[in-house]
Structure 1
């Protein structure tokens, strides 16, 4: 007998701790493409995409078929004990995808946080240094080290200290709320100089192993730096033997209209972390980058029981094939143009929208009570999310102030679904602007 959503929610309250948060009260029964259907048959257009995990769509046919085929052959052996070709094939594929005209290696793990931790381990071993530079508004995970890297205190860090040492935080290129009080392009991207200044007041470059940054920040509010920013940071890193790590966990695999978002800036990272849509819905992650760095850890220094699981590796290969064969990068680029045009039109209509930013369909709308004061409108953001959810559209908020709407819809979303979703959003802005 099928239970109601309320029945399941009552069971959840007794079985699952409140620390495991839920953005909605939807109980999913199935999903396909860009639509989730709950156990009572109600459909929702999904602008959250499992927090950027299903760029190729829910239950993508190639991925489902690959999972079924692999499950009939081998579920698990642990790559450290008995190897299998899928792990190696996926590593080879990631090496081709990652930028850089140099020899590369790839190692597979389970989650984004695990990939970030291993990228830092690799950097420390290769350089013999310990320090890590991160950015305000960053999010890198919930483990001890990645939680320490993450910028926002509540809910991610509050009460969970002490935190990992040797982490140094600098301002990000948040043009809408410029950390140096200037405007682009007359600023000459002076915010990038924060890295050099950090060497004076926080830690010498001789102690810094790596810098890690999200090309487009995720939880931090989809902050999107100017075109010169990452090149300037990379040059400082090269001058000081600091490994430049791009955290592409949310921004990769078509999310911005490129396979990897850093391509928009023309910068080649030393190491790249990937996860989320890399697996098409299955849990898998990786670190890929320069062979001289990846080869630095001793035998046994990298790994994990489930890393690069055969079924997850098969799903990932199928997900990448789907992006390539179905030309989803071009689809994403077109979708991004449609969304940006609509969002900029909404900004003209509704003063509550202070900023529209992002790359491709990885876009954000920052809501403010006043464009003059830029006071964050977290209350209105919550109202908009609730309004849209009630009418069948799942939206996610983000940002350190909780006042940013982000778009993470599957790239396979239909034109009709996009039109309906944007119509709901516009109605929502009318409602919250009264």
Structure 2
């Protein structure tokens, strides 16, 4: 994985070697053959090892913002002097591409108006793209927040603090500033399973799927920031071949309604419907009940979340609801984004590990693309590049090849 090594002649070799891994050392071997008077001696080997990045976090308390720009197609880990800033991984319906800039800043003290963790982040990328972002924190930073918190819920006090994980929220503003404010706030309630204390690295890692604006600033806090909707619960149940989603609100303030989003893996979401607010002009102090039925859930797992939309554009996401169904046979259930101009994700569910070939054909039957792979039991989401295909309509099939059987599993038009 080492880059930067090239042949060089002369008494001195001056090269910069880069190890893109954050976990594994990398090595490069130089073969040196001494020569004198046109005669070659015995060659010998010089091996240079470049260690992986450290587990330290970038930024110093009260110091300046620390940044790094790089192509997310090359590496998702953003480091400065081998210290972690954040991780930005392309994912979702319109995966982020190209150069992304990530910065971290650690304030001298915890801000109390509003209250948020002193380690804040900004990400600059192509607008209206999607990614999975991991933010890193120290336990001491959570402790400082809790000390300034007062009567509201605390952040985790240790790795097993389930209540602290449940309290954690992330607000994202379309801004490059390390202070919260302005229109367009998106509030995320991360899945508790994605709030992890990495004991080997002595740090917290909070991961969430996001939709990026051109500029994005991230702030971690608890559930004391004013919310446009107070959600009592959000749950789901199977009803025949459908999935029924049910939720209730205790209060609503300026609420436009709810987008219900679905995913096969809990990371890449797309909307399956919108339910308007029942509140008069979006405002209510009475309990209101809502539901939506997903008539065509995925054959395996279906993850759901609510995207609550305020009348002024503010957005808040709920926690995830998972409804699983036993996969009886191989199925190619969906593709997204559709239409696509570059990469497309194919959702395949399988009752067991299978060898398959994805075959893309024109309507005439002419094969224009083939890709073989092994898929795992359950939900799979391989990505194919359709950028080289001409504009038009195509058919994609999954051909099962286990035990040399050839079966057309399902057709989907692109």
Structure ranking higher in helix proportion: 1
TM-score, structure 2 length as denominator?
0.30
Structure number with higher strand proportion: 2
Say which one has the larger Rg.
Answer: 2
TM-score of the superposed pair, with normalisation by structure 1: 0.29
